[in-house]
């Protein structure tokens, strides 16, 4: 029987410490849903004791129907000066209402003494009492042993005693945290081995950072020595050089080392999960990322495509489909027929393999991907594209012209937009509106033009607006991808636009959003965004 490894994701807590990694409240829920579908065991949502956003997340996550994952609230052992039952942090952890609570404890004597200002013995009591308190409140408890490896090097007996106190008080996993990063695999292996020998009945966990470029290898080394609980973040986000990249760790454990981590179907979600989290965090995906990166299975032009196909095993360390990625020949080769058909089915559209409409959809997707489109986070745009290619969607309006003007004069900043739209009955509407900025003005003008004929556009709210510069090196001449999230009373949906001009890219995404709403209202189909 293969050994089971449980995955503990901390993208929303430790990952969000990374520079420029930010998730809105709605984005956090989308990350939770994606992680659950990927099959992780735990999702750490943040510190309810210090972060109101985490409190909100735990409250909202309670209404989600999670299939695999358990939410974990994160905090510290009790304050040295509080009684355990009065400790504000522990109380906040309990009121987060999660099944699992993770608390971190000092394992390194110098930190206990210099930062907590407690004796070594008192520090042990903090651990015992805090774990026992949370257990008594009915929580499953995970103990993160902060600075474990530094502490172990400094005083191995004390570091082990911290773990033992956690275990005795009821912690179900003891996590060796390499807080400073910078360890090397042979060092991590030796310490983990010693811990697993000293505490043979405990579930030992590992939490690494990438300061020596070995976060993944350090994690694998600990698992080989007996660790059965692995912490990390999607895409390796985290402060400084980042945390262990769970995308790489999961694939290595499952495909290379034969551990039981997630199901094959869950593993196929690895690449799309990586992409989705990057999009939501508004961080450019790392094309060179192992397994999930756009270039991870890209073979260069010089090599003949047939040769790669024939001797694939010589050029690919694993089959990319196992992790939801694909072989790319040449600079960019687009989604194959099967993945488009699969995606269409997800959106409720049946595409037949040999139908000419399927070829039309495929050609259109490839063409747009060449221009810089990515439909990963823009299902509504993809659905409209498919329905139009199949002739399922009437034309509700066309644009005759649009204009946007921003002027700054004598301290006044004015943004104004003008649109001229053609409606199906031959009518032409010509409207002007102001806004907080050029895109807001455009949105206002567009709604004013269309709401007479399509009153449902009044219900559309723009929820989120994201801008990504595709080739930053071209500076202000670079292509821009705009992602817009819209909602009405019932659902929310996402659309995308790409152009060398940010105003045009925004306009395209706005039009898609409005068209989607009108289509959904007027077809007898399900509500917008409903799965």
Cα 436 to Cα 55: distance, rounded to the nearest angstrom: 31
Q: Is 498 in the site for a second copy (CB under 8 A)?
A: no
| Ranges assigned E (strand) in 313-444 | 328-329, 398-409, 412-422, 428-435
CB of 355 to a second copy, least distance (A): 30
Task: Decide: is 258 part of the binding site for a second copy (CB under 8 A).
Answer: no
For a second copy, the closer of residues 80 and 500 by Cβ is 500
Q: Per rule CB under 8 A, is residue 287 in the interface with a second copy?
A: yes
Residue 17 makes contact with a second copy by CB under 8 A: yes
SS3 content of the chain, % helix, strand, coil (to 5): 45, 20, 35
Taking the complex as a whole, how short is the minimal distance between the CB of residue 358 and a second copy, in angstroms?
26
Q: How far is CA 114 from CA 106, 120, 149, in A?
A: 11, 11, 18
Contact 223, 4 (CB under 8 A): no
> Residue 19 interacts with a second copy (CB under 8 A)?
yes
CA 92 to chain CA mean position, Å:
25
**306-365: contacts with a second copy (CB under 8 A):** 307, 311, 314-318, 330-331
Total of residues contacting a second copy (CB under 8 A): 120
Binding test (CB under 8 A) with a second copy, winner from 45, 438, 497, 529: 438
When binding is defined by CB under 8 A, the residue of 473, 489, 524, 531 that contacts a second copy is 473
379-389 and 502-522 helices, crossing angle to 10°: 70
Q: What part of residues 24-43 is at the interface with a second copy (CB under 8 A)?
A: 24-26
Lay out the site mask for a second copy across 41-70 (x = CB under 8 A, - = otherwise).
---------x--------------------
Residue 143 or 404 having the CB closest to a second copy: 404
**How many contiguous H segments (helices) and E segments (strands) does the chain have?**
19, 16
Q: Which stretch binds a second copy (CB under 8 A): 89-97, 159-167, 213-221, 488-496?
A: 213-221
Instruction: Considering the complex, state which of residue 83 and residue 311 has its C-beta at the smaller distance from a second copy.
Output: 311
Say whether residue 459 binds a second copy (CB under 8 A).
Answer: no
CB of 317 to a second copy, least distance (A): 3
C-beta contacts of 61-65 below 8 A and 24+ residues apart? 61/29, 61/32, 62/97, 64/29, 64/32, 64/33, 64/36
Among 55, 163, 216, 445, binds a second copy (CB under 8 A): 216
Counting contacts by CB under 8 A, is residue 529 touching a second copy?
no
Q: Which of 347/462 has CB closer to a second copy? A: 462
Per-residue contact string for residues 149-188; x = within reach of a second copy by CB under 8 A: -x-----------------------------xxxxxxx--
Binding residue for a second copy, selected from 256, 309, 458, 526, defined by CB under 8 A:
256
Q: Is 465 in the site for a second copy (CB under 8 A)?
A: yes
Rounded Cα distance between 531 and 518, Å, is 18
Cα separation values, 407 from 129, 196, 401, 414, Å:
63, 67, 20, 5
Instruction: Map tokens 């292996």 to a residue.
Output: 189
Which of 432, 500, 434, 437 has its CA nearest to residue 465?
Answer: 437
Query: With CB under 8 A as the contact rule, which of the stretches 119-127, 382-390, 425-433, 439-447 interacts with a second copy?
Result: 439-447
Q: Which of 49, 324, 435, 528 binds a second copy (CB under 8 A)?
A: 435
* Alpha-carbon torsion angle 381, 383, 386, 391, nearest 10: -100
**Dist CA 463 CA 170 (whole Å):** 44
Closest Cα partner for 279 from 109, 71, 27, 18? 27
Query: What whole-number distance in Å separates Cα of residue 183 and Cα of residue 181?
Result: 6
DSSP summary character for residue 112:
I
- The contact pattern for a second copy, residues 368-407, with x = CB under 8 A and - = no contact, is --------xx---------------------xxxxxxxxx
Annotate each residue in 73-112 with x if it binds a second copy (CB under 8 A) or - if it does not, as one string.
-----------------------------------x-xx-
* Interatomic CA distance for residues 247 and 252, integer angstroms: 9
Q: Which of 194, 463, 491, 521 is close enough to bind a second copy by CB under 8 A?
A: 463
């Amino acid at each position: 029987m293969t050994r089971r490894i449980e995955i503990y994701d901390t993208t929303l807590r430790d990952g969000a410490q990374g520079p420029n990694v930010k998730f809105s409240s709605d984005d956090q829920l989308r990350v939770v849903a994606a992680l659950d579908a990927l099959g992780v065991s735990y999702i750490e949502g943040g510190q309810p004791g210090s972060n109101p956003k985490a409190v909100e997340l735990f409250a909202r996550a309670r209404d989600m129907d999670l299939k695999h994952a358990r939410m974990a609230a994160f905090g510290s052992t009790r304050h040295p000066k509080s009684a355990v039952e009065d400790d504000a942090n522990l109380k906040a952890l309990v009121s987060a209402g999660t099944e699992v609570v993770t608390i971190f404890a000092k394992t390194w004597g110098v930190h206990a003494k210099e930062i907590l200002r407690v004796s070594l013995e008192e520090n042990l009591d903090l651990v015992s009492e805090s774990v026992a308190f949370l257990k008594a409140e009915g929580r499953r408890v995970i103990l993160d042993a902060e600075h474990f490896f530094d502490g172990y090097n400094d005083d191995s007996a004390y570091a082990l005693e911290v773990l033992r106190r956690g275990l005795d008080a009821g912690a179900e996993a003891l996590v060796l945290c390499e807080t400073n990063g910078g360890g090397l695999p042979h060092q991590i292996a030796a310490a983990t081995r010693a811990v697993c020998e000293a505490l043979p009945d405990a579930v030992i966990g590992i939490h690494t950072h990438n300061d020596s470029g070995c976060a993944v290898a350090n994690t694998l080394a600990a698992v080989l020595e007996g660790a059965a609980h692995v912490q990390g973040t999607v895409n390796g986000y985290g402060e400084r050089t980042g945390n262990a990249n769970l995308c790489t760790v999961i694939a290595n454990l499952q495909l290379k080392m034969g551990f039981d981590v997630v199901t094959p179907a869950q593993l196929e979600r690895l690449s799309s999960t990586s992409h989705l989290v990057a999009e939501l965090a508004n961080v450019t995906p790392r094309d060179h990322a192992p397994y999930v990166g756009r270039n991870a299975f890209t073979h260069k032009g010089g090599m003949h495509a047939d040769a790669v196909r024939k001797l694939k095993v010589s050029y690919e360390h694993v089959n990319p489909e196992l992790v939801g990625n694909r072989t790319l020949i040449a600079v960019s080769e687009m989604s194959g027929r099967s993945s488009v058909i699969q995606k269409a089915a997800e959106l409720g559209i049946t595409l037949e393999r040999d139908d000419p409409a399927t070829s039309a959809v495929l050609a259109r997707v490839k063409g747009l991907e060449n221009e810089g489109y990515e439909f990963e986070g823009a299902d509504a745009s993809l659905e409209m594209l498919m329905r139009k290619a199949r002739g399922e969607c009437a034309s509700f309006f066309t644009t005759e012209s649009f204009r946007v003007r921003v002027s700054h004069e004598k301290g006044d900043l004015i943004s104004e937009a003008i649109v001229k739209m053609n409606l199906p009955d031959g009518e032409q509407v010509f409207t002007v509106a102001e806004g907080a900025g050029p895109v807001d003005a455009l949105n206002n003008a567009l709604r004013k033009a269309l709401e007479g004929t399509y009153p449902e556009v009044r219900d559309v709210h723009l929820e989120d607006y994201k801008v990504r510069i595709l080739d930053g090196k071209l500076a202000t001449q670079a292509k821009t991808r705009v992602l817009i999230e819209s909602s009405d009373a019932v659902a929310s949906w996402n659309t995308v636009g790409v152009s060398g001009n940010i105003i045009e890219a925004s306009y395209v995404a706005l039009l898609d959003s409005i068209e989607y709403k009108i289509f959904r209202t007027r077809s007898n189909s399900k509500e917008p965004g409903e799965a």
